[in-house]
Amino acid sequence: MPDNWLTSAAHRHGGEDAASYRKRLIREIEDEGADCAAAHRLIKREIKKLGDLADRRHASHHVVRYLTTYAIAPKGPGVLVDIGASEIYGAPLKALKGWDVRSIPVLSFDYEVDRLPFADESADGVMICEVIEHFAVDPLFCFIEINRILKPNGFVVVTTPNAASWYSIYRAFDQKHPSRWPVYSLDESKRRNHIHAREYLVSEVEQLLDGAGFGSIKTFTRDYALHPPYKRIRGISAAHRGETIFSRGCKIGRPKKRAFQPLYLEDLDFKRGKKRL
């Protein structure tokens, strides 16, 4: 095997450019759901509304993620809590799926410490998208809170970067950091929860949901399509190699765990009324 096999574009990518790949993924999502084409139009409209040019450029590269997030959310009506609050996918959730979206703005409080500002069993669904990778202390606390505010059989949708994607693997092979956003900031407004403190495997997201009392968990991965598709590596499983994890679970009962290994040092069962660690 030649020494330069990792850095050769012919080996790293499958021949399709990024723009074509992104269009192909969008077409596939539109084919999956009858209303996804209409959702795509609303998503593009919301992106055009963004006042900052850099924000518009950034969001336009994430259309695949926004549209997939919309597609995996069930139809309403009902109360849908959006932790992190994105009007980009929130607009079609309201207009096309009939949800009454209650947004929790980014950094409005500490999701790993503070209780969610909703009554017990008051929500039909919760979105927590591109949030948990910023958690540095206690991710299960937030999922236990999500369980608390959800009605029985209510759903949660989680999206987060995939630590085991082809993107991450090839980055590590090329002596680059495999995290999607390993970047510090001296800007006080961006410093808190800006860097990705921890990115997750599919199995870890499912363990968080299971430990917090969720079942019927369905998970898949998909690329952002910021790059051409990476080639599979012979001898390595191709399962769950997309850049983003998309997972949906249904509340089936009370939380089971307060902490679990190996995500935590401790392994503790959940006890109702017990104070957090």
What's the mean pLDDT in 229-249? 96
Burial of 50 (0-12, 13-18, 19+ CB in 10 A): middle
Contact 81, 116 (CB under 8 A): yes
Domain ranges of the chain: 9-269
- pLDDT score at 184: 92
**Cα 217 vs. chain centroid, distance in angstroms?**
14
Cβ-based neighbour number of residue 123 at 10 Å? 24
Determine the average pLDDT of the residues in 128-144: 96
Q: Collect all residues with Cβ–Cβ distance below 8 Å to 213 and sequence separation of at least 6.
A: 144, 147, 251, 252, 253, 254, 255, 256
Confidence of residue 8 (pLDDT cuts 50, 70, 90): very low
Residue 72 has pLDDT above 90, yes or no: yes
Tell me the per-residue pLDDT of 18-43, one tens digit each, with 9 for 90 and over. 999 999 999 999 998 889 999 999 99
Say what percent of the chain tops pLDDT 70: 93
What confidence score (pLDDT) does residue 105 get? 85
CATH topology of domain 9-269: Rossmann fold (3.40.50)
Predicted model pTM? 0.92
